[in-house]
Amino acid sequence: MKVAPIMAAMSRAGGFESLLVHTGQHYDEHMSRLFFDDLGLRAPDVNLRVAGGSHAVLTAEVMMRFEPVCIEHRPDGVLVVGDVNSTLACALTAAKLGIPVIHVEAGLRSFDRSMPEEINRVVTDAISDLLLVSEPSGLDNLQREGVAAESVRLVGNVMVDTLLAHRARADRSNILARLKLRPRAYAVATVHRAGNVDHAPTLSAIFDALRRISDDVPVVFPVHPRTRVRLDAMGHRSGTCDGADLRLTEPLGYLDFLKLMADAAVVLTDSGGIQEETTILGVPCLTLRENTERPITVTQGTNRLVGTATEAIVSAYREARACPPKGSPPVLWDGRAADRIVACLEQELRVRARWHMASGVTHPSLPMTPPPGTPRMTLAAGVHSLAWLR
């Protein structure tokens, strides 16, 4: 969802040659192929095929498999997006090869180091050369951490680019008819964060809240593969649960899920991206966490932090139904973030290319100097990671 608009903007700008690299981190059929199809993203040129494993194993495998790609193609820079293990792995690989790192969605902070994503965000930003920020809190966080202002740009939110570009197509989805739902008369839930899923009492409390809400309206719960394993162990299978209208489904494609969110009465989630999307859609969002790295969705959007206790979730649901929150789009969440990102890349990498040609300096860990001439960019993208090569 974050890669597609950047690649489209590169194509519009010209002067870029793209190499798409899939890390394989999201290996589930519904979370990989369907998203490529729905977003019009071409098949990957390289698939690292790293599927599953612990945080350490996954990160190490991506690094080992991504390094030869960088060495073969001699990057001018590696662009990584978001905060997953692939993001950190590709950034570390590039930094150790002396390749400039560009981070999209830089500066976001939950201030909760128990979240693996927070570690990924902090470390990636610390080794990035160009930090592209989606909301003003990111500027504040990076300034407080001592990042040089000239390395930081506020560009907006590429997730919003994707949403606005595909909204009309999503509106044509028949997902509501297939699930026999009426607009504004159902809820949507997603749960996948390790802190919620891997702790059985927490997942049980969330599940109990969803089951109680489903006594009032149908609750559609597309289940992440990680969550599926935990729910199966707890005895919760697909379908309707214990007479309540809680519907555990397979993961949905992007267009179907966007339509489902847009027409929902309320969305319950622990996903950062969904907090952003519901803010643009104007749909009440209850975030099943105690913190968020996207505070603008709370201060300006339709998001509310409700935690993971059953009663707190149910109470917040009732309040959201009785008095839905009103929000407005944050600054630069206008569908043009990718164009601003590409403009930053053109400026930054052309300056670097001129400097390299003038000085004769090349990447210290790479085997040969790129040929001179007008900078030409090749893009290598994982599910969450891009490498810009010349």
Mean pLDDT of the region 327-349: 94
Q: How far is CA 61 from CA 68, 92, 118, 257, 349, in A?
A: 12, 12, 20, 31, 28
Residues 19 and 68 in one domain: yes
Cα–Cα dist 181/183, whole Å: 7
The residue behind tokens 């002067």 is 15
pLDDT tens by residue, 113-133: 999 999 999 999 999 999 999
Distance separating alpha carbons of residues 49 and 137, to the nearest angstrom: 35
Alpha helix segments (H runs only) across the chain: 3-13, 33-38, 55-73, 85-96, 116-126, 136-144, 158-171, 175-179, 194-197, 200-213, 225-234, 254-262, 272-281, 296-299, 310-322, 337-359
Is 162 a member of any domain?
no
Residues 94 and 216 in one domain: no
Q: How many domains does the chain fold into? A: 2
166 part of a folded domain: no
Treating both helix axes as pointing N-terminal to C-terminal, what angle do 225-234 and 200-213 enclose, rounded to 10 degrees?
90
Boundary-marking domain end, from 268, 288, 322: 322
Q: Determine contact, residues 378/17, Cβ cutoff 8 Å.
A: yes
- Pair (102, 141) in one structural domain: yes
Together in a domain, 317 and 230: yes
Residue 338 lies in a domain: yes
Look at residue 31 and tell me whether its pLDDT is greater than 90. Answer: no
Q: What is the pLDDT at residue 18?
A: 75
Q: Which residue range forms the structural domain that includes residue 109?
A: 3-157+332-389
123, 249: one domain: no
In a shared domain, residues 23 and 150: yes
| C-alpha triplet 327, 168, 218: angle, nearest 5° | 65
152 and 16 fall within a common domain: yes
Residue 195 and residue 121 share a domain: no
Q: HSE-up of 56 (CA within 13 Å, CB side)?
A: 0
| Residue 282 falls in which region: left (phi positive, over 0), alpha (psi -120 to 50) or beta | left
Residue 78 domain-assigned (yes or no): yes
Q: Look at residue 163 and tell me if it is in a domain.
A: no
Let me know whether 196 and 61 are in one domain.
Answer: no
DSSP string, 145-184: TT--GGGEEE---HHHHHHHHHHHHHHT--HHHHHT--TT
- Pairwise CA distance, residues 240 & 227, whole Å: 17
Tell whether the model's pLDDT for residue 172 goes beyond 50. yes
Instruction: Tell me the C-alpha to C-alpha distance, in Å, between residue 162 and each of 2, 103, 232, 333.
Output: 7, 18, 33, 11
| Cα of 44 vs its chain's centroid, Å | 18
Same domain for 198 and 118: no
What is the pLDDT, as a whole number, of residue 242? 54
Which CATH number goes with the domain that contains 124? 3.40.50.2000
Residue whose C-alpha is closest to residue 349's, from 90, 94, 105, 101: 101
State the Cα–Cα distance between residues 175 and 254, nearest whole angstrom.
Answer: 11
pLDDT at 279 over 60: yes
189: in domain: yes
Residues 94 and 116 in one domain: yes
User: Are 7 and 152 members of one domain?
Assistant: yes
pTM, two decimals, is 0.89
Residue 373 has pLDDT above 60, yes or no: no
For residues 195-215, give the mean pLDDT.
96
Instruction: Give the active site residues.
Output: 192
